[in-house]
Structure formats: structure tokens, C-alpha cells
Amino acid sequence: MLKQDDLVMLVCPQGKRYVRKVREGETMQTHFGVLEHAALLRAGYGEEVHTHLGHPFRLLKPSLYDMVKMLKRRTQIIYPKEIGYILLKLAIAPGSRVIEAGSGSGALTTALSWYVGDQGRVYTYEQREEFFRLCGENLRWSGLDERVEQFNRNIAEGFLQTDVDALFLDVRTPWDFLDQVAAAIMPGAPVGFLLPTTNQVSDLLAGLERAPFEDVEVLEIFLRRYKPVAERLRPDDRMVAHTGFLVFARHEGRKTPACPSPAQTATADPELDPANPVDAA
């Protein structure tokens, strides 16, 4: 049952999609005519509604994928094909506490806040004021803003949280902030990075070798769709290929002293030390 301020997705027969927040008394302008929000509230998800010109629209509940794709953006967003892998690698689940920097348009912020649930928390950092505001607008539009704390702050000054479950950096020079990352996450926690070029990945790998991180992984994800026609199934003419390199690692945790070998233990015993023979008599 639809209610005030719910998000809806309207799909016309030609496939064009609109995602809107439903508010009593408002209207929605489309190329196919005007839709009354009151009619959407009466219809509910899965039903068909018509514009004042008689054009039909299917009323659907938007998925997280739809929400991410429909966000207002002034920056390149992290694509859903990367977001899914990021969520799995960072073990994001209800109750997780996770840091993200920078926020950008808020695509990954939206996905993180969706998965941490009402008991979790997302702390997102963005130094640029315009992107800080845009991310906030998108979070309020999606209805997920109460799960997120935003910080308009330079992460060189450090993060304000400690012992978080995971951290993701989408900044130009992440190797400059590895000390701040290590100080914010719990021992053994996963971290992730997004970088557009190979030379940036090389610089990050060099930084990770000097920092308290292990289990490093580098990858990129390609997505190829197929034309959904049964008689002539074939790949689409275009595909979303390289959009960025993903790098993952884990905080190496607190190192424990190595156990002495049996030989070391024997030598450490004065009674067994060859330099101090025991008088058999």
C-alpha cells in the first residue's frame, strides 16, 4: 500500500523510467502527459495509471539499483556492477558501522545505508561543499538519511570514528591517508579503494606495502548485457567496460610475538645449554 513520501517508479510502454516521491496534491509532468500523485496513491504498486492524455504507466516499487541509477549527479558515480562486489568484500550487513570518503553524489552512500539497516551507521566524508550538499539531498530523497552522518571535512585531519567494521576510500591519492584509515578501523577489518588509472593503483600498492595491511586484491569488473529477444539472442552492441579499478585489503591486526622454536627453548634452558654442561655426578 502506497503512502505519503514513498518512492515510486513509473515505466511507460517505450521503457522510459521516472522515480519520484509521492506527495498528495502534487503532479508529475512527463512527455506523455500529466500524472496526479493522488491517482498513484490510490493505485498502489503493480497497477497501471494513465496520464491526462490517456498514456499508460506501470507503477512499480524502485529497487536499490533503480535508486542509484536515478540519483542527481554532478560527479562520476560508482556503478552498480562495482557496488555489489564492494558490499560483499566489505561484509556490509545490518548493524555494520562503515566509513566512506569521498561522498561524491552519494551512490555508494545510498547502497551502504540501505544495507546497514536502522541499527547500523554510515559515516561519509566529503571535503567539497557542493558534493557534500548534493549527497545530503540524494539521501533525503531516498529516505535513507537517518542512517548516515555526513562530515564536510578533510580526511587528512583524521576520521572521527574508531573501531569501525569497514572503510572505503574513493579519493584521488588514497596512499596519503593510510595511517588515518588504519587508525579508524578495527584490527582485521576490510578496506576498499576505487581508482581510475593503473599508475594510481601502483602508487597505492606501494603505500599498502609500507602500511599495516595484508591480503591485497586488485581487480576490475566488466558488464555485458544481451539483447533479450528469444529468436536472436546476442550481446548488446555496447557495454559498460572499464569504470575503475577496485583494490581491497585487510588491516593486519595486532601482531603477537612468535612462539620460540623447540631448539630456541632448549638453548634458553641453562641446564640444557652446551656452554653450561651439567655434572652428571
pLDDT digits (tens, 9 = 90+) for 184-218: 999 999 999 999 999 999 999 999 999 999 999 99
What residue ranges define each of the domains in the chain, with the CATH number in brackets? 7-62 (3.10.330.20), 65-251 (3.40.50.150)
- Model's pTM, two decimal places? 0.87
Residue-level pLDDT at 47: 95
Residue-level pLDDT at 281: 41
DSSP 59: E
Closest to 161 (Cα-Cα) out of 98, 208, 210, 73: 98
Which cell numbers in the block locate residue 4? 505519503
For residue 99, list its beta bridge partners. Answer: 123, 167
Residue-level pLDDT at 50: 94
Residue-level pLDDT at 277: 52
With a CB cutoff of 8 Å and minimum separation 6, the contacts of 44 are 1, 2, 59
Residue-level pLDDT at 186: 97
Burial 51-62 (b: 16+ CB within 10 A, else e): beeebebebbeb
Say how far apart CA 145 and CA 143 lie, in whole Å.
6
Residue-level pLDDT at 175: 98
Handedness of CA 44, 48, 49, 51 (dihedral sign): positive
DSSP-based three-state secondary structure for 99: strand
Residue-level pLDDT at 280: 45
Query: Which portions of the chain are predicted below pLDDT 50?
Result: 278, 280-281
Residue-level pLDDT at 259: 61
